Amino acid sequence: MTPEVPKNHPRYESLVTREKIIEGMHQKIVAEAGLIAHGRGEAFDYILGENTPDFALKQEKLAVITLLKAEEPVISINGNVAVLCPNEIVELSRILEAPLEINLFYRRLEREEAIKNLLEKAGAQNIYGVDQSKQETIPEISHQRRIVDSRGIARSDCVFVPLEDGDRTMALRKLGKDVVTVDLNPLSRTSLTATVSITNNVSRAVKEMVSFAKDYKNMNSLALEDEKKRFDNKALLQEALKFMSSRLEELASDRKLFEV
Ligand code: ATP
Ligand code: MG
Q: Kindly report, residue by residue over 68-111, the tens digit of the pLDDT.
A: 999 999 999 999 999 999 999 999 999 999 999 999 877 788 99
| 68 in Cβ contact with 224 (< 8 Å) | yes
Q: Parse the chain into domains and list their residue ranges.
A: 54-242
- For a mutational test of ligand 1's pocket, the pick from 40, 48, 160, i.e. the residue with the most ligand atoms closer than 8 A to its C-beta, is 40
Q: Which run of H or E residues covers position 250?
A: helix 233-253
pLDDT computed for residue 41 by the predictor:
98
Closest-CA residue, ligand 1 atom 15, reads: 163
Nearest ligand 1 atom, CA 202 = 28
What pTM was computed for the model? 0.95
Would you give the DSSP letter of residue 103?
Answer: -
Average pLDDT over residues 28-48: 96
CA of 260 to the centre of ligand 2 (A): 37
> Out of 34-48, 132-146, 148-162, which region has the weakest mean confidence (pLDDT)?
132-146
Contact call for residues 206 and 88 (beta carbons, < 8 A): yes
Confidence of residue 145 (pLDDT cuts 50, 70, 90): low
Query: Average pLDDT over the chain, rounded to whole?
Result: 94
Four-way CATH pick for 54-242: 3.40.50.10420, 3.20.20.140, 1.20.1090.10, 3.40.50.12640: 3.40.50.12640
Which residue, judged by its Cα, is nearest atom 7 of ligand 1? 188
Residue whose CA lies nearest to ligand 1 atom number 22: 41
Give mean pLDDT, residues 107-135: 93
Q: Which residues pair with 100 in a beta bridge?
A: 75
Q: What pLDDT is stored for residue 141 in this prediction?
A: 74
